Structure 1
Amino acid sequence: MAGSGPGKALPVRRRRRRHSQWRGLLYIAPAMALVIVFFVMPVLFTGWMSLHNWPLLGSPRWIGFNNYFRMANDGRFVSALRFTTYYTVIVTIAIFAVAFPLAIFVEKHRRFVGAYRTIIFLPVVVGLASASLLWVWLANVDSGFIGPALKALGLVEKSPNLLATFDSAFFTIIVMVVWKIAGFTMIILLTGLQAIPSELTEAARIDGAGRWQRFRYLTLPLMRRTIALALIISVTGSILAFDQFYIMTSGGPQNRMISVVYYIFNQSFVSFNLGYGAALSIALLAILVVISIVQLRLLRVGEDRP
Structure 2
Amino acid sequence: MKANRTATPYLFLVPAMAVFGFAVLFPVIMTFAYSFTEWNGYGTMVFVGIDNYIKAANDVLFRDSFVHVLIYIAITIVLEVVVGLVLAGLVSVHRRGSLWFRVAIFTPVMLPMVVVAVLWAFVYNNDFGLLNAALQSLGLDSLQRVWLGDPATALLAVSVVSGWVYAGFYMTIFYAAFNQVPTEVIEAARLDGANEWQLFRRIKVPMIRNAITVALLLCITGGFQGFDLFYVMTNGGPYGATEIPTTYLVKSVFTFQNVGYGSAMAVVLTAVVVALGLVFTRVNREKPEDVRS
Give the structure-2-normalised TM-score: 0.88
Residue of structure 1 equivalent to 2:86: 101
Residue of structure 1 equivalent to 2:64: 79
Residue of structure 2 equivalent to 1:42: 27
Q: Distance in 2 between matches of 1:26 and 1:212?
A: 54
Quick one: which amino acid aligns to residue 247 of structure 1? V
Shift of 1:35: 2.6
> Cα deviations across residues 227-285 of structure 1 (Å, max 9, x unaligned)?
12211111111112222222212322222211111111121111111011111111111
The secondary structure found in structure 2 opposite 1:134 is helix
Matched, 1:120 2:66: no
Residue of structure 2 equivalent to 1:273: 258
Does the C-alpha gap of structure 1 residues 296 and 114 become closer, same or farther in structure 2, counting only changes over 3 Å?
same
Quick one: which amino acid aligns to residue 285 of structure 1? T
Q: Distance in 1 between matches of 2:257 and 2:266?
A: 14
Shift of 1:94: 2.1
Does the C-alpha gap of structure 1 residues 30 and 217 become closer, same or farther in structure 2, counting only changes over 3 Å?
farther
- Point out the more displaced range, 35-44 or 284-293: 35-44
Does the C-alpha gap of structure 1 residues 160 and 81 become closer, same or farther in structure 2, counting only changes over 3 Å?
closer
The answer on whether the counterparts of 1:99 and 1:182 sit within 8 Å (CA) in structure 2 is: yes
The answer on whether the counterparts of 1:228 and 1:296 sit within 8 Å (CA) in structure 2 is: no
Quick one: which amino acid aligns to residue 253 of structure 1? P
Residue of structure 2 equivalent to 1:154: 139
> Cα deviations across residues 195-246 of structure 1 (Å, max 9, x unaligned)?
2211122223334555455444433332222112211111111112222222
Residue of structure 2 equivalent to 1:6: none
- Decide which of 181, 186, 190 is 1:196's aligned counterpart: 181
Matched, 1:238 2:223: yes
Structure 2: which 5+ runs fail to align?
Answer: none
Matched, 1:253 2:238: yes
The answer on whether the counterparts of 1:92 and 1:238 sit within 8 Å (CA) in structure 2 is: no
The secondary structure found in structure 1 opposite 2:152 is helix
Does the C-alpha gap of structure 1 residues 105 and 30 become closer, same or farther in structure 2, counting only changes over 3 Å?
farther
Q: Distance in 2 between matches of 1:296 and 1:219?
A: 22
- Point out the more displaced range, 111-120 or 157-166: 157-166
Q: Which has the larger radius of gyration?
A: 1
Shift of 1:164: 2.5
Q: Distance in 1 between matches of 2:273 and 2:203?
A: 30
- Point out the more displaced range, 149-158 or 27-36: 27-36
Shift of 1:84: 1.4
- Point out the more displaced range, 151-160 or 39-48: 151-160
Q: Distance in 2 between matches of 1:252 and 1:140?
A: 15
Give the structure-1-normalised TM-score: 0.85
Quick one: which amino acid aligns to residue 41 of structure 1? F
Q: Distance in 2 between matches of 1:26 and 1:198?
A: 46
Figure out how many residues of one structure are paired with residues of the other and give that number. Answer: 288
Matched, 1:294 2:270: no
Does the C-alpha gap of structure 1 residues 30 and 214 become closer, same or farther in structure 2, counting only changes over 3 Å?
farther
Matched, 1:264 2:241: no
Residue of structure 1 equivalent to 2:289: 303
Quick one: which amino acid aligns to residue 256 of structure 2? S
Shift of 1:149: 1.4
The answer on whether the counterparts of 2:61 and 2:240 sit within 8 Å (CA) in structure 1 is: no
Structure 1: which 5+ runs fail to align?
Answer: 1-11
